[in-house]
Amino acid sequence: MAQKVAVLGAGLTKFMRRAKETGKELSFEAARMALEEANMDISEIDCVVMATAPDMFDGVHMKGDWLSDGAGAKRKPYMRSYVGGGSGVFAIIHGWYLVASGLFDTCLVVAEEKMSSTMPHPQGAFNAIYDQFLERPLGVNLLWIFSLEMMRYMHVHKIPLETIALVSVKNKKNGLDHPCTQKGIAGNYTVKDVLNSEVIAYPVHRLMVSPVTDAAAAIVITSEHEAKRRTDKPIWIEGVGWCLDTSYWTNRDLYYPKYVEYAARMAYEMAGIKDPRKEIHVVEPYDPFAYKELHHLEGLLLADKGEAPKLLEKGFWDRDTKDGIPSCPSGGLLGVGNPIAAAGLMKVIEIYLQLKGEAGKRQVRREVKRGLAQAWGDLMQVGTVVILSK
Amino acid sequence: MNVYIIGIGLSAPKKISPEVSFREMIYEAAEKAYLDAGIEPKDVDTFVSVSEDYEEGTAIFDEYVPDQLGAVLKPVHTICADGITGLASVFAQIKTGHFKIGVIEAHSKLSNIKHHFHVHAMALDPVYVRPLEVNPYFVAGLEMGMFLDSRGYDELDTAQVVAKNKANALLFGRSPFGSFISPEEVLLSQPVSDPLRELDIAPNADGACVIVVATEEIAKERRGDLIKIAGIGFAEFTPNIERWEGDADYLRVAAQKAYSMAGIRNPLNDVDFAEIDDTFSYKELQHLEAIGLARFGESADLMREGFYDLSGQLPVNTTGGNIGNGNLSLMNGLRAVYDAVLQLRGDAGNVQLENPETALIASWKGLPSSSGGVLILRREG
């Protein structure tokens, strides 16, 4: 049966637009930091896992192979898993099963993204994720379909745009305290500021969208006996879940992310969680767009359908809440930046730091024993969930 | 906990396939595999698809796999690697004890790509190598030259691989690339990048393959024959082609892991037959040496002596390898697993070996990567 798996160290590079470092160098930086924190040498790593989103960004075919030496994988077992935007959180799931299976004792999990190489803008590359015949000729990009999804979500639950803007206000404020935050992303904004920002694809406003970012993140995970040998306070991976819905996104009702619910249920079952609203103490749902955080909180069963916006208005998801569940205490993608795969792993690292009590100014006020990170991707199609505990 | 292969399905390799989409090919392979395993797609706990975006012409390709696999609203993800590394992912998931039945899928629709080497070229380092504007086959030619020189082999040695594999493919009778051709005739084919010739290169083909793996309990319920995954390994060497040493170190590392898992000390004695990546003719010899099925510099002599022939001591690429079945890109490894399972079940027709028990399958991700996987299958009972 599965051996227990622990997180021993984490590394995160500064988030920025137009990093001078190559993707390999970013991977190296994050990997080095994670190994340092775990007090390990690369020679003690049995296998390396890489997460990185579309090869189109870098214009490099077999991007996983290309990044491998930067991630320290030379002459090592190495795999790249890939579920679009969900890849960052999937990376720890990937590492988890390689270690939990007993095949390996130690695994270095690296997530890298260098989006700014795509000129003039990565949204152009995203046209290539659509169906070649039916959708691509329309010239669609992600902003367009997410404006459709946002509209549907707002319509079904009658959510005012002002409430969605509150997510940006919360996360961009939280992001001020994150040492890796991308320049110009975090800030003390008001709902008015958000609604006065440029409309990109109605109802999506500029301040409701995460930016283009370059960065890398890494964690070291080990089996139980390695963890116990190396640290007194390991953080455990208690549950993982992932789920992929049909390719035909036009045939689904977009108001609710069922695939996130299924992924969450898988993770809750594995972690033995019966009542997630009581047993999850801090959460990092994926927030590339403001409405997605609320959408995902409902998919994660942390709020009833349509209730997440109301709880937001009451401060239930705030970082300093006493009886709520702090959501995106890191600042999330809206407050720190969105280097796609690295952003997912950044969320996992935030939960890891919160559980260790080492999140500094971002440390949530309530006591935390268990936290959840989630990412999402593809054609509004995949959910990836991990639950960590002390 | 042991893991077994309980079902295999193939959409057979062909040169072009204008009559079907990649989805229809995957559907065909999946339907056959589920039927073979005696399961419904709803019984499957986890799915893995191997793909690379640039070969698909679609970014984030996992978007387009769930429907035809019957995997909607199920755990599905992509591994960007050869089929055996992908299989290692499903194997590991089942070993955690949280999954009972897993599926691995790979496919090739290379006929959609007008100039495949342009895609290969995008995998070369964009700063140091790509500006040189070398045709990636030039990289293979360089490595082949380095490999031949370091062993004292010549082009006739690699031509033997082509002759053997094309003959096996013709005997097996499934592939459009089989033929009886002498090594000397191979040398008459067009030079591509000296010493690499046209017939040294496995021709591109289309196809799809699905393999179902499961726990011991499920395997014993569903099947009379038990084909166990006795060992599996995968590894990366380096993407920097200027650091390649001509030794296929990725397979050496992968084989060590697979052998230790399978308890194999002397692979030459313990393995009954092997399916070895031969995307280029020299790769078969190079890979045989990397995984210890020949000592350094001895594979060509063994090849000449017929050691790796169908009637030899250690038959290699019994159904024709990639040269005989076509280059199916990331599916190459799974096509080889499919054929190895046919051999172990006694279903390999004209090329059936006598009662084989242990098979070794080694796959390479293809040009210009330096990663691959090794799998050991053992028939029980």
Domain count for chain A: 1
Question: Over 80: is that where the pLDDT of B46 sits?
Answer: yes
The answer to pTM > 0.95 is yes
Nearest chain A Cα distance for residue B84, angstroms: 11
Would A84 be classed as within a structural domain? yes
Task: Determine the residue type at B149.
Answer: D
Query: Which of A1, A101, A108 is the best mutation test for B, with the most CBs of B within 10 A?
Result: A101
Question: What's the mean pLDDT in B33-43?
Answer: 97
Among A73, A101, A126, whose Cβ lies nearest the Cβ of B92? A101
**H-state helical runs in A300-369:** 308-313, 332-335, 340-356
Would A177 be classed as within a structural domain? no
Would A115 be classed as within a structural domain? yes
Closest to A201 in 3D by CA, of A247, A139, A135, A129: A139
Contacts of A55 in chain B (CB under 8 A): 52-54, 59
Nearest chain B Cα distance for residue A48, angstroms: 10
> CA-nearest residue of chain B to A267?
B98
| Domain at A264, CATH number | 3.40.47.10
Contacts of B66 in chain A (CB under 8 A): 244-247
pLDDT by residue (tens digit) across B159-216?
Answer: 999 999 999 999 999 999 999 999 999 999 999 999 999 999 999 999 999 999 999 9
Residue with tokens 């803008």: A121
pLDDT at position A2: 79
Spatial distance between the Cα atoms of B122 and B115, rounded to a whole number of angstroms:
12
Partners of residue A219 on adjacent β-strands? A10, A109
Contacts of B58 in chain A (CB under 8 A): 128-129, 132
The answer to whether the CB of B172 falls within 8 A of the CB of B336 is: no
Specify whether the backbone of A384 is left (phi greater than 0), alpha (psi in -120 to 50) or beta.
beta
Q: What is the mean pLDDT of chain B?
A: 96
pLDDT by residue (tens digit) across B54-107?
Answer: 999 999 999 999 999 999 999 999 999 999 999 999 999 999 999 999 999 999
Spatial distance between the Cα atoms of A270 and A266, rounded to a whole number of angstroms:
6
Share of chain B above pLDDT 90, in %: 93
Low-confidence ranges of chain A (pLDDT < 50): none
Question: Over 90: is that where the pLDDT of B133 sits?
Answer: no
Would A296 be classed as within a structural domain? yes
Residue A12 domain boundaries: 5-119+211-389
Q: Would you place residue B134 in the very low, low, confident or very high pLDDT band (cuts 50, 70, 90)?
A: confident
A69 and B240 within 8 Å at the Cβ level: the answer is yes
Would A195 be classed as within a structural domain? no
pLDDT at position A1: 60
- Alpha-carbon B286 to chain mean position: 15
Q: Which long-range contacts (CB under 8 A, 24 or more apart) does A297-301 make?
A: A297/A327, A298/A256, A298/A257, A299/A256, A299/A257, A299/A258, A299/A259, A299/A260, A299/A261, A299/A264, A299/A383, A300/A260, A300/A261, A300/A264, A300/A276, A300/A372, A300/A374, A300/A385, A301/A261, A301/A264, A301/A265, A301/A268, A301/A276, A301/A277
Spatial distance between the Cα atoms of B331 and B81, rounded to a whole number of angstroms:
10
Would A54 be classed as within a structural domain? yes
Contacts of B65 in chain A (CB under 8 A): 244, 247
Would A315 be classed as within a structural domain? yes
Spatial distance between the Cα atoms of A36 and A45, rounded to a whole number of angstroms:
13
> CA-nearest residue of chain A to B85?
A79
Partners of residue B362 on adjacent β-strands? B276, B374
Q: What angle do CA A263, A268, A273 make, to 5 degrees?
A: 165
Contacts of A270 in chain B (CB under 8 A): 98
User: Which sign, positive or negative, has the C-alpha torsion A17, A19, A23, A29?
Assistant: negative
B60 and A270 within 8 Å at the Cβ level: the answer is no
The answer to whether the CB of A305 falls within 8 A of the CB of A288 is: no
Residue with tokens 């070291």: A220
B72 and A245 within 8 Å at the Cβ level: the answer is yes
Question: Over 80: is that where the pLDDT of B381 sits?
Answer: no
Spatial distance between the Cα atoms of A339 and A345, rounded to a whole number of angstroms:
10
The answer to whether the CB of B363 falls within 8 A of the CB of B333 is: yes
Would A262 be classed as within a structural domain? yes
pLDDT by residue (tens digit) across B329-357?
Answer: 999 999 999 999 999 999 999 999 999 99
> How big is chain B by its Cα radius of gyration, in Å?
19
B234 and A77 within 8 Å at the Cβ level: the answer is yes
pLDDT at position B222: 87
Secondary structure E strands in B216-310: 226-236, 273-276
Q: Would you place residue B135 in the very low, low, confident or very high pLDDT band (cuts 50, 70, 90)?
A: confident
Partners of residue A240 on adjacent β-strands? A386
